Amino acid sequence: MKGRTGAFAATVVICSCLIFVYTNLNPEGPVTRCVIPDIPVRSVTGHPRPSVTPDTVDGKVNRSQLRDVRISTVHLSTVFRTAIPQSGAFWNRKFYSVLKKLDKKGNLPKSEISGNGTLESTESLQTNIADFNKYPSIHQDFLRSMHFRSPDILINQPNKCTSNGKPDTVTLLFALKSSAQNFAQRQTIRQTWGQEKAYENGLLVRTVFVLGTSSSEEPDLGKLLSLEAQEFGDLLVWDFKDTFFNLTLKEHVFLKWSILHCPQVSFIFKGDDDVFVNTNAILKYLKSLQPAKVSKLYLGQIISQASPLRDPKIKYYVPHTFYDGPYPPYAGGGGFVFSGALLESLYSITWFIPFFPIDDVYTGMCFQALGIVPEKHQGFRTFDIMEKDRENACVHKDLLVVHRRSPQQTLRLWQRLESPLLTC
């Protein structure tokens, strides 16, 4: 999986340079209200057995840790609705079939929630997508499980944001997409920028690593993960295959977890486990924000005017018959920050907007649907900085996020940045 993550990162760089130009920024229009009711949790059967044992009570998953989260009333922006063309592409059709069902008040009937526990059958996909058989197999897998949103949690940290049973005022929660193999990355983060402590002015930082399970083709690291979770108390593991195209599902379950277990958090940093973060600089920046800005914050390196890449050889390939239209402006998924005040609406809208295989594009869609405009910050370098500056601590003093650094590079940079001898 490490190699996969690496290739992923490298492709981001290439893709960002290949992206087509497309103008899609409209002024914010009026919003429609829609109510998304609770839906029952169902589970998918037939996928590989989890390699870690669920948090069990008498042999049963501890259901009280899996309480369903109420899906709240969300506003759907017209900017988003008008950005998505009504076309024959599968995703577009799914989206429009949901839109058509909005009632006069703009409420969404329960039957139209785009996610449920079922797998879509191959027959149904072949009927609905003429060239489905020509899709790469990972795209086919994605489509089959596109509605699956309720995997069980296998390793939880229900007390991550509390002390002595009382909620903590966590300023910043690092939520880092990781996978079983990436122990060195996680350990580096624990030792450096992800340390859980009170920073300047008593600001509290907490860190979680968000994982799925490995597939049957990979060595079973479940036992190690359980031990690691006991030792460090920062792993969240869900029962789904940890693949690139399941990162959207990973985001969805993480949002749910945050609402349940860290609802009072001020800001969330979502990113990869191979980024370098200047935690002090981020905290300082967040502290300096105008209160009006705080509750609507979606901050990062913003990729605007992008469109799907249509070359099947590219990792980010999106077939014409799957999605048609531009991408919304979105923050590069290597690392971005958003306001904890947005957790509930963001989670709710993920029940409504069909899943998209590229997680950061999907997040951008959700924020656009909520009418939140992304904010660019020059300190987020998800496509890295010039080669000559990569070991220069002074250059990193003013940066917030750099993608990507090896564990060794991160340790070196951190030691230099923390050194009292550093003069820039």
Binding site for ligand NAG (CB under 6 A): 44, 47, 57, 62, 64-65, 114, 116, 118, 138, 141-142, 145, 147-148, 158, 240-241, 243, 245-246
Q: Could you tell me how far CA 93 lies from the centroid of its own chain? A: 24
Query: What is the rounded distance in angstroms from the CA atom of residue 254 to the CA atom of residue 270?
Result: 10
- Please state the closest distance from residue 421 (CB atom) to ligand NAG, in A: 45
- Please state the closest distance from residue 112 (CB atom) to ligand NAG, in A: 7
- Whichever of 57 and 130 has its CB closer to ligand NAG, that residue is 57
- Please state the closest distance from residue 370 (CB atom) to ligand NAG, in A: 21
CA distances from 271 to 28, 105, 247, 305 (A): 27, 37, 11, 22
- Whichever of 241 and 396 has its CB closer to ligand NAG, that residue is 241
The answer to whether 270 and 299 are in contact (CB under 8 A) is no
- Please state the closest distance from residue 326 (CB atom) to ligand NAG, in A: 23
The helix or strand, by DSSP H or E, that contains position 346, with its residue range, turns out to be helix 343-349
- Please state the closest distance from residue 368 (CB atom) to ligand NAG, in A: 21
- Compute φ and ψ for 288, nearest 5 degrees: -85, -5
Q: 271: Cβ–Cβ under 8 A, 6 or more apart, which residues?
A: 174, 175, 176, 177, 277, 333, 334, 335, 336, 401, 403
| Own/partner pairs, 36-39, CB within 8 angstroms, 24+ separation | 36/71, 36/72, 36/73, 36/74, 36/108, 36/113, 36/348, 36/349, 36/351, 36/352, 37/71, 37/110, 37/113, 38/68, 38/70, 38/71, 39/71, 39/110, 39/113, 39/115, 39/116, 39/351
Work out the angle at residue 236's Cα, subtended by the Cα atoms of residues 221 and 370, and round it to the nearest 5 degrees: 135
Q: What are residue 56's DSSP bridge partners?
A: 61
Helix, strand or coil for residue 250? helix
- Please state the closest distance from residue 284 (CB atom) to ligand NAG, in A: 34
Helix, strand or coil for residue 133? helix
- Please state the closest distance from residue 187 (CB atom) to ligand NAG, in A: 26
Query: What is the rounded distance in angstroms from the CA atom of residue 79 to the CA atom of residue 416?
Result: 45
Q: Which string of DSSP letters, residue by residue, matches 360-407? A: HHHHHHHHHHTTPPPEE-TTEETT---GGGTT-HHHHHT-SEEE---H
Query: What is the rounded distance in angstroms from the CA atom of residue 307 to the CA atom of residue 82?
Result: 16
- Please state the closest distance from residue 177 (CB atom) to ligand NAG, in A: 14
CA atoms within 13 A on the CB side of 46: 9
Q: Could you tell me how far CA 57 lies from the centroid of its own chain? A: 30
